[in-house]
Amino acid sequence: MMNLCCSDPVSTRHSTGRGELVKLLKMNQRIKKINTKQRQHK
């Protein structure tokens, strides 16, 4: 996924598209942190 997005000239040309990718990455990191916290509680 990331390689396709990075190699795609259209996605790199539009800063808004990259901003959305960054938001998704940050959300994924938050979800991973929450999942690890839940595992620790168990």
* Assigned token pair, 25: 């990455």
Count of Cβ atoms closer than 10 Å to residue 41 Cβ: 6
Most confident of the ranges 1-5, 9-13, 17-21, 36-40: 36-40
The H helix count followed by the E strand count for the chain is 3, 0
Three-class SS state of 2: helix
Lowest mean pLDDT among 7-11, 19-23, 31-35, 38-42: 7-11
pLDDT tens digits, one per residue of 19-35? 788 888 898 899 889 88
**Entry pTM:** 0.46
